[in-house]
Amino acid sequence: MNKSWYKLKIDTSSALIDPWPLIPKVPNFGIWLQPKESIFNKEWIDYVENLGLALSGSSMVFYRGPNWNTQYAHLDVDIIKDPSNEIPLVCYGVNWVLKGKDSSMVWYDMPDKKYEVRYTEARTPYVNFKIETLNEIDRCNIQLEPVLVRVNIPHSISVGNEERWCISARFKKHIRNMSWDSVVELFRSKDLLIER
């Protein structure tokens, strides 16, 4: 299945704590793995849990300056407890942007070759691929409305002229370990998914 995103019927219009606490440490780039209470207000956490979705303890926030693009796509890797085992991948997130409505998320086929794990500034492990070696399969211009996004195949962000803040709500492990098809089915069964 090549569809790597779906718009969701989830209200995120008053999800975030106010005032917004994050400031990038370096120009044009920031990535945070933050406790959910320091991104989302309590009312929204309760609202999401009432939809039957259990947020994990922490969620992600990304910042990119205008046109701050790289040549790489990546996979989202889960915390690695035993490096000798297979690399655990995070299957999905629920993403929306605060600014950067002219940027796009792009997905690619998973290459066959073996890959190496590296670590971000937020100490989250990830795997990189050069975009020029990949085959694009899907693309989404993510806006203020939340989108279910697949993150266990290579994906990248193409940032436009506006700086981009992106929230990526993350969910508990038993949900993270599901296949993409079963995640889509879960959101569909709760009537939260907009078909495309």
Identity of the residue, 45 or 122, whose beta carbon is nearer to Fe ion in the bound complex: 122
Contact stretch for Fe ion (CB under 5 A) within 24-32, 35-43, 64-72, 149-157: 149-157
Integer angstrom CA distances of residue 25 from 21, 28, 59, 126, 162:
12, 9, 19, 20, 19
Q: How many CB atoms lie within 10 A of CB 148?
A: 23
List, in order, residues 6 or more apart from 84 with CB less than 8 Å away. none
In angstroms, give the least distance from the CB of 110 to Fe ion.
Answer: 14
Site for Fe ion in 150-169 (CB under 5 A): 151
Task: Report how many residues bind Fe ion under the rule CB under 5 A.
Answer: 2
- Cβ 187 to Fe ion, closest distance in Å? 19
Nearer to Fe ion, 76 or 163 (CB): 76
Contact 190, 51 (CB under 8 A): yes
Give least dist CB 150 to Fe ion, A: 10
Interaction of residue 142 with Fe ion, rule CB under 5 A = no
Identity of the residue, 7 or 170, whose beta carbon is nearer to Fe ion in the bound complex:
170
Indicate the residue among 41 and 104 with the shorter CB distance to Fe ion. Answer: 104
Among 12, 40, 59, 76, binds Fe ion (CB under 5 A): 76
Q: Per rule CB under 5 A, is residue 60 in the interface with Fe ion?
A: no
Q: Contact at 8 Å (CB) between 177 and 115? A: no
Is the separation of the CB atoms in 159 and 18 below 8 Å? no
- The whole-angstrom separation of Cα 195 and Cα 43 is 27
Whose Cβ is closer to Fe ion: residue 10's or residue 73's? Answer: 73
Of the two residues 41 and 78, which places its CB atom closer to Fe ion in the complex?
A: 78
Position closest to Fe ion via CB: 76
What minimum distance in Å lies between the beta carbon of 36 and Fe ion? 18
CA 24, 75, 9: angle at the middle one, nearest 5?
A: 75
Binding site for Fe ion (CB under 5 A): 76, 151
